[in-house]
Amino acid sequence: MSSGAIAIIILAVVVIAAIAVIVAISGRTASVKPESESPTPTTGLATNVRGRAKVANFHVHGNEARVTFDIPTADTNSEVVAALLSDQAIEVVREKRHSLPIDDVEQVVVYTGGKEPVELTRVRLNKPGELPDPGAHIDVLDLSTMAADPLTKDFASSGEVTAAPTPTDDALRPLSQELDIPPSLRAALQAQGVDMATMKASDLVTGLLAVTGYQIGAGPIPGTLFATKPGSLTFIAFDEYNEGDYHEVNESTIQRFAVDSQSSNADRSVLVTEKYAPFSVYQLEKRRSDLKILSRERLQAFVNATALG
């Protein structure tokens, strides 16, 4: 055999060995869930980091920096909400100052209403173009250092599962009419763009998780979310209530949630709904300690856990 043929054979063996090593390494790393890495949002209900309100528009006009938030105007009749949005508007200007000139800006004007903006309040700067220190105020939208993690609460014992009301033609009342939400948490929800009059359980839970330090991103299945904290990954599924729906969660929905939770590779999983839960959830939660059913009769306990820590 010629020396050239031998060299080709040796080269082929080396290439095959290298490929085998790469495949083995990639297979091993793919099977490990990194604790510090958040899932990449792909699909889902929303992506929300630390409960910040969505900015609908921003521009500089003369000596004014105008920030418009996509929040219903009716939900901003509160000095607390105005103060929260003022702080957020300052941070928006701070982020934009590198791409837009603000040296002549003397005041930041805060609007709500999205496409139909209505002026809410104004923040006058001490000097043109000089923004206040970002650490000069307490961030009410970040309670992560003050409130306990509400997902660690045992809702199976604190929020009793009760039988759903006898089916009637009446729709379930809005959650805002049934839940006692402290003013600070109500303001935090409103400042995230939650319409209290039409608030769903998904709005309530994701909004409160955001202010307690969770980062909310899209989950592995359309309509699901991941809530992440360092070293913790929570899979969240929803069973939304619409007028005309039965008042109790269907057993098939609970079974599907249990299956989806296993494939999510999360540390724990939560089913959120404004419907009532059937008694069978007790047995499910006993069998699977990683599962929580956050149903209508348990939502007040969730609010209390967030407020009181």
**pLDDT confidence of residue 303:** 92
Structure-block tokens of residue 304: 């209390």
If asked whether residues 247 and 167 sit together in one domain, one would say yes
With b meaning 16 or more CB within 10 Å and e meaning fewer, what string describes 25-53?
A: eeeeeeeeeeeeeebeeeebbeebebbbb
Asked which of 71, 90, 124 is the last residue of a domain, the reply is 124
Report field, pTM of the whole predicted structure over 0.75: no
> Up-side HSE of residue 90: CA atoms within 13 Å toward CB?
22
Q: Are residues 96 and 224 in the same domain?
A: no
pLDDT, position 81: 80
Q: Which residue, 86, 108, 124, sits at the end of a domain?
A: 124
155 in the same domain as 304: yes
Describe the strand order of the beta sheet including 268-273 as a list of residue ranges. Answer: 48-49, 215-218, 225-229, 232-239, 268-273, 291-294
Q: Same structural domain for residues 111 and 251?
A: no
| Edge-to-edge order in the sheet of strand 55-61 | 55-61, 64-69, 107-112, 118-124
In this structure, the strands spanning 64-69 and 107-112 are parallel
Residues 206 and 286 in one domain: yes
Same domain, 285 and 178: yes
Domain tally for the chain?
A: 2
> Does some domain include residue 129?
no
208 and 271 part of one domain: yes
Same domain, 254 and 302: yes
Q: Which domain holds residue 288?
A: 150-308
144 in any annotated domain: no
Pairing of strands 291-294, 268-273: parallel
Is residue 171 located within the same domain as residue 119? no
Indicate whether 294 and 166 sit together in one domain.
yes
Q: Are residues 299 and 164 part of one domain?
A: yes
Q: Does some domain include residue 166?
A: yes
93 within domain boundaries: yes
Q: What is the pLDDT of residue 133?
A: 81
**Which residues does residue 302 pair with via DSSP β-bridges, in sequence order?**
none
Angle at 192 between CA 161 and CA 83, to 5 degrees: 120
Out of 83, 107, 124, a domain closes at 124
Residue 290 resides in a domain: yes
Tell me, yes or no, whether 276 lies in a domain.
yes
Q: Are residues 154 and 302 in the same domain?
A: yes
- Asked whether residue 252 is domain-assigned, the answer is yes
pLDDT in tens, the chain (309 residues): 555 544 444 444 444 444 443 334 344 333 333 333 333 333 334 444 445 778 889 999 999 999 998 887 765 566 778 888 888 899 899 998 888 888 899 999 999 887 888 898 999 999 999 998 875 554 555 555 556 678 877 765 555 555 555 445 578 999 989 999 988 888 888 888 888 888 999 999 999 998 888 999 999 999 999 999 988 999 999 999 998 899 999 999 999 999 999 999 999 999 999 999 999 999 999 999 999 999 999 999 999 988 765
Tell me if 159 is assigned to some domain: yes
